[in-house]
Chain A
């Protein structure tokens, strides 16, 4: 100790004053702009909030037309939903006696409550839309091959989770809209009973009832369902979604970053010292992502300010809404269910979802990876499949509206026949046949899967439009709501 010319206490004092300087310098480092590549690399990889991001990205990540920022938009919408959801949780009470009143209070009394609730609702709709578009983008750029098939399947699961999150949240306000939409959804889920009834085996085995009990905790939507949906909506589904999102993003990095055409030359020069053609993420790529964040945030906030989320009267189990429509993303399925409960509720959705999931298994063509529509032939197939699907849907919707269906022509027809032969199954069968034809004539699995995806997507879109705008009381066809009969 005597060899040192400072005491222990002065050392403490010195370290303290230097600490302030060190902190200031560290902060200043961020603001000044990072000069060396090492600094820029460390800015990403050594910061907790950004470490998930790759330190180097391919220059194509900057070109907006490849990915349109849809995946990012979905992620940011998820974050907005989480934040606004937590704020709403401060006041919401998941009890059938108090739920509606708590939402009314949020709207009427809580400062900013109306705004937060609107944000939450519009961000939810926006997220469903953006994950759908994101899935379409990934598909049409063929970005599910080259080892990205696992990520595709994770993406499909995330898509389903998004729909489920929206569905479970739909019930929470406990108003007429919520109650009847979820009643319809639960009936769709329990529609296996139609099949077991047609086969006459319901007394022995009734999976429809089992699913309904699992979903609702009772046979009708009530307090049990509300608690379950609340639990799913705020804990289980977000947790699973969060884990899967993490996995999804991690896999992007492991699969080589955002997808892009393999052999197209970019005019953005890569780093000459690196042979892989990548550039540092800091700052441009991160600016791109920040732009997406603030644009999404801005749009959602504006929508929340300008448009109010709907709230009808308190849920009244004795007076059904007519028509009782589920949320818009389920209206396509509800339209299919109107033809046959089992085929529209379980059979066809399962086929469609399984079909989505197995696309990367069945189609392993790797050329034209990252190219929109995989080139001109793909563009043609897309257009033709879209037209075909539009025609098939129009026909299959118009025929029952104008002429009725099996039960109207043959009153004693067996229910199994209606389950198997109805506009929904015919549309899907024609889609499969069409895709098969494309496969046979072109010999390309990619083109066939483009035909299937486009046809299916256009089909669901048109069915949603029909269910949204052209269905009135008793699910009858009306050209406009002004023609609906007054109840």
Chain B
């Protein structure tokens, strides 16, 4: 290694040291200069003074200005550059010095709110680049003004209640109405109300970019855009999601997103929130009526009018609640049971108040709403005033009634109709009422979609089996002993009619449908004479005494309510049913009833809600608007199942029921 004399080194090192010192001093001088007079905000402030003219130059004191709200750890320095924000005289000068738009600042004083509470971002940083291009904070600056309504919603917004609130903007109003009518609560819980299939959205507005997958987003990678594209194709942005796509217009979508982005946890001091918002936070929310509950909760899966989702198109589908067969065969009890309990392992959640956040009266209301889709039956008087035609009635009978009541009214699943005992005991009113209201716990649907003419025709056809009309009978059952009647019922009647009168070999009789239609005369005559061609025997007893006990007992049980839904009569053979099921039903309903192209049948909640009669009626009559055929009717695509075969299938389906669920 070459070495030089000492003085050479001295010169080198002195020069190097001098160079380094000059560099250091130069940089220090530069920094001193920049940090004292050449900061970005200082240049803005000078520009402001120039714009405002000489008058304000005297009174303007340059320096960093900030709005501090200590208890919220807010230090917003935006006003260092946004100098005219509170000055009403600055409306004419350009950004960033111009006055704040609108009258928002009058109710939202800067010293209580600051800037970032509404406009988000990092208020501490003084550099324009840093503030406007925030990575990781929401909303992204390009759209932050477009969605500033989200901040209004954060404090003023309620999800349930009237739209004309303080702090409401057109976007938030539109967004609120959309949330309330698109069935969002069916899968998402928001502020304690809703289902659990999708994520809880109550704090959606607090999420930052890291919580979203932007991999498959086609447009800008911002949170609002993610939400837009998610509505249009949820499965693309959230793989494995069963959410249906929504087709909203551009403005509707942005309004909805505005409200969604305003969903925050209530982390601000209480004085910032509106009264309605505070009430809703504390659980005192506006109660929804049945139509609103259905629109907000159910319509996402079951459709706006209850038309359901086809199991062939979407997996899973949703049943068609507006189908006339469903409405006529499903009792209110069944609907209430399923709404409250849900369908277990299927996507239908349990809507009990403790799980869903809905109130008891809201659940009742939505059940009533679903029930209201059943057409109103014509009144008995209306029918009695209509002139019927027996031939037309016969055609109707062959199409609709023969599947259960037999071709000649000889019975099968339903009782024998051509029995003289029945026809002589039954008044027209009895027959009409039975047809229009159906019979609970049996397969007899409520044919309320028949009009008065059709029922009148049927009535005449039925009466055609009666050679001569019977005289009117107005016997009353007087003075019966309910306790004695109860004992007699339990020892004699229950073997056929079931211990709760829910039916077995004999029809279900201890329910309001039957007891309201049947007069005392009808009951007494049937009890005493029996029913020809059927196992019902007449009681060979002193007429008057014991039969009136039984009638008194039956009348006393009119309003009895069990805490479970009894399945009712099941006369089929499961083994035969299994063979039939695997041949005819398993293709759609699955080999084990798990549901493939059709609803699941092995579902515990469903089996506890559905009576055997419901199952029989559904099998017999099918479900219009869905691929479920009417197995009791002639059709080119399948053979007719006999009454016995249908009962066998029902008996087989019952095997999947493992226990009894109490009504919730």
Contact = CB atoms under 8 A, between A and B. Distances in A.
Contact of A291 (B20, B22, B31): B20
A290 interface: yes
Contacts, number: 128
B13 A291 contact: yes
A239 to B, nearest CB: 28
Contacts of A295: 16-17, 19-20
Interface in B318-348: none
Contacts of B64: 109
A34 B550 CA distance: 135
A316 B208 contact: yes
Given A115-B31, A319-B211, A287 B23 contact: no
B136 A293 contact: no
B215 A485 contact: yes
B126 A291 contact: no
B9 interface: yes
A280 to B, nearest CB: 10
B73 A287 contact: no
B24 A297 contact: yes
B126 to A, nearest CB: 5
Interface in B248-302: none
B73 A115 contact: no
B208 A268 contact: no
B195 to A, nearest CB: 24
Interface string A299-311: 1011011000000
A304 B31 CA distance: 10
A314 B10 CA distance: 50
Contact of A62 (B6, B73, B77, B208): B6
Contacts of A304: 27
B4, B22, B31 interface centre (most CB from chain A within 10 Å): B31
B484 interface: no
A129 interface: no
A291 B22 CA distance: 12
Interface in B5-29: 5-7, 9-10, 12-14, 16-24, 27-28
Contact of A111 (B6, B13, B36, B125): B36
B206 to A, nearest CB: 11
Contacts of A101: 73, 75, 124
A264 interface: yes
A104 B122 contact: yes
B541 interface: no
A288 interface: yes
Interface in B49-90: 64, 73, 75, 77
Nearest to A486: B215
A231 B49 CA distance: 47
Interface in A104-122: 104-105, 107-109, 111-112, 114-115
Given A108-B124, A297-B24, A284 B1 contact: no
Contacts of B18: 294
B30 A305 contact: yes
A179 B288 CA distance: 46
B126 A109 contact: yes
A200 interface: no
Contacts of A98: 73
| A-B interface, 10 closest residue pairs, ranked by CB to CB distance from nearest | A294-B20, A298-B23, A319-B210, A313-B136, A291-B16, A287-B13, A301-B27, A291-B17, A295-B20, A291-B13
13 contacts: A97-B73, A104-B124, A109-B126, A112-B35, A267-B4, A267-B5, A268-B4, A291-B20, A294-B17, A294-B19, A295-B20, A298-B19, A487-B210
